[in-house]
Amino acid sequence: MEASLKQGNTLPASVFNYRHSAGRHFFQVPRPEQGYTMAFQSFAGDHPEFQIHSQHLTDTNALNFNHALHLSGLVQLSGRKLACADCHQPDAANTHFQPLRFDRHCQSCHSLQFDAHNPQLHIPHGEPAGVRAYLRSLPTQYADLARRSGLTAQADTEKFVAAQMRLLRERAFNGENLEQQIFFASDPSKQLAVDTARGPESPRARFAGCAYCHEVKPGGVDGLPRITPVITPDRWLIRGEFNHAKHAIANCTTCHAAPSSRRTADILLPTKQSCTECHSPAGGVSQSCSTCHSYHAPSGGFPSQASSH
């Protein structure tokens, strides 16, 4: 270990960056100051706490997400409470989970339907330029909707478009700049409260704005807001192999404290103590190094001084 530390100190920091690999995103933990953690005798005994917990590391994902809210019963899917498996679905090998996608895991509830009078219309999810283009083409969108609804006369279509644009500005967005409201509104509860006070004749769609979920910054030269990309790691423990299928006997919340997590920054990995309930002599499940760790010597092998390790 000492020899490896000395060699590591001569190498550029980029050599130890495993954040990206073959299009995947790994969570990068800081290197231990001494180059390694510690020597220990067994996992159940003196194996150190996982670094994510011991150093209180946080998720830097820019998405605003609250696990507790989604599992509290306030959010429902098809008339029932959401469950972990509604969003976290196994991959083809049934060992890890598929990446989360807005269209597959979020859109059924967060439809981006901005006009309660015309729920067929949805703001496109994607780049700010596409959102701006859509908003500036709303008269055309309403005209297409009128034709799909059976209005064929030009005068009727124009009347429908004018009425919908007026209702949208006056009732849904209180006369504020529509584009700014879509991009920067971030508190749907306040907006819905205002709408409720006006009475049932002026409904409002349950879409708050991009900033409800995303970090949105003021625009640059082109005036377009900047939305911080959402980057969710594919793997949290780079050198720790884990097979979810082998752990399916346990309930998700036995290992992951999702029901009490209200911050995106929370990394909901189990603690070492949670793992030792099974991976220990008392639990009866293997606790050998190779149970969780893959062999990770560099392709050139260890330095000769460390060949015995």
Query: pLDDT tens digit string along 89-124?
Result: 998 888 888 889 999 988 888 888 888 788 889 999
Cβ neighbours of residue 247 closer than 8 Å, sequence gap 6 or more: 255
pLDDT at 253: 92
Asked if the model's pLDDT at residue 173 lies above 60, the reply is: no
Cβ neighbours of residue 293 closer than 8 Å, sequence gap 6 or more: 239, 240, 241
Asked if the model's pLDDT at residue 200 lies above 80, the reply is: no
Q: What is the mean pLDDT of residues 245-260?
A: 91
pTM assigned to the model: 0.78
Question: Residue 168 and residue 240: Cα distance in Å, rounded?
Answer: 52
The residue that leads in pLDDT, 235 or 174, is 235
Q: What is the mean pLDDT of residues 41-59?
A: 92
First to last CA, the chain: 8
Asked if the model's pLDDT at residue 137 lies above 90, the reply is: yes
Q: Where are the domains of the chain?
A: 1-100+232-309, 104-227
Asked if the model's pLDDT at residue 61 lies above 70, the reply is: yes
Residue 295 binned pLDDT confidence (cut-offs 50, 70, 90)? low
Question: Residue 49 and residue 46: Cα distance in Å, rounded?
Answer: 9
The residue that leads in pLDDT, 43 or 200, is 43
Calculate what percentage of the chain has a pLDDT beyond 90. 39
